[in-house]
Amino acid sequence: MPSPVTTILTVISIVIAGQAVGSDLAFDLEAHRGGRALLPENTLPAFAHSLTMGVDTLELDVGVTADGEVIVSHERGLNPDLARRPDGTYIAPPGPPFVKLRLEEIRTHDVGQIRPDSAYSRQFPDQRALPGTRIPTLPELFALVRKSANTQVRFNIETKIDPNHPDETLDPQAFVAKLLGVIETEGFSDRVMIQSFDWRTLLLVQQQAPKIPTVYLTLQRGSAPTVALDKATNWMAGFRPADHGGSLPRTIKAAGGAIWSPNFGDVTAALVSEAHAQGLRVVVWTVNKREDMARMIEIGVDGIISDRPDLLRQVAGEKGIALPAGTPVAP
């Protein structure tokens, strides 16, 4: 019969092992758009850089082309601050939506260098330009991760769909069907989360792929908030916080969400505790300053999405958070 001390040590070791393998207990260090402060956003070089560095999750955005390809891009169409024609000139705004372009047309554009003197270039002056970089497809990103032999990194995939601009994308049903089809075909269903400001797409994911966690993105500040506490908005798929005690976490729980992903400026320690009481994880976006990262960790968030995964690794390490191992890979 084991001694009491041996029994206690065994129990402790089991608990620690459970914490190590339980993704619901681990801090989530996410590279926003692959880490766009460092390399061109949502491109294979950026994702390769973050894989080599070591992150828990690659955060990305997807759209669907006219010929049904799922591509990785934050905008719903070609971005005039990024997309250059073969002659080297940047396209004029507004960029055409992907749903009206075939993949081969999209591939003719170079997205490896921010337009000089743009607001975007001033936001990320240290981003390393990589001329000749193209918009990747989602299967190409999955292939890169296979090449890296990283079996732990996850994907936080945002559906870039806007209920106020239905002509610029497929409808929610068709969009979700295309995305889930690629994820299933590629065999990554167990490593994916799907996030959106447009909650209609999340409800469809919950119906069609209930094992995939859904991430409810919210923005309450600025000139274009996506959610409100006193009414339903076009983004909220008919849900109203007023029906759930005026609580956004309770509303998301009622909708079937697993994760609440608010703008970090909208979050307080009390809201994090409220979300945790509902069984939700809280992963905030987009946190790029050291002091903000430290404050978010201190108030108990479960993860941070950042354009500076390198800085986030430093801050998280200083806070005693175990850091994900890098898996060196070239695109």
pLDDT at 5: 41
Q: Mind giving me the DSSP string for 107-128?
A: TTSB-SSPPTTSHHHHH-TTPP
Looking at this protein, which amino acid is placed at residue 34?
A: G
> Beta strands of 74-169 (E only): which ranges?
154-159
Q: Tell me if 157 sits within 8 A of 217, measured CB to CB.
A: no
**Which residues are bridge partners to 303 per DSSP?**
28, 283
pLDDT digits (tens, 9 = 90+) for 254-310: 999 999 999 999 999 999 999 999 999 999 999 999 999 999 999 999 999 999 999
- Per-residue pLDDT for 18 more than 50? no
Q: Is residue 263 helix, strand or coil?
A: strand
pLDDT digits (tens, 9 = 90+) for 236-250: 999 999 999 999 999
pLDDT: is 160 or 22 the higher one? 160
Q: What is the mean pLDDT of residues 88-109?
A: 97
pLDDT at 25: 62
Q: What is the mean pLDDT of residues 180-199?
A: 98
| Euclidean distance between CA atoms 300 and 210, whole angstroms | 27
Q: Tell me if 320 sits within 8 A of 294, measured CB to CB.
A: no
Per-chain mean pLDDT for the chain: 93
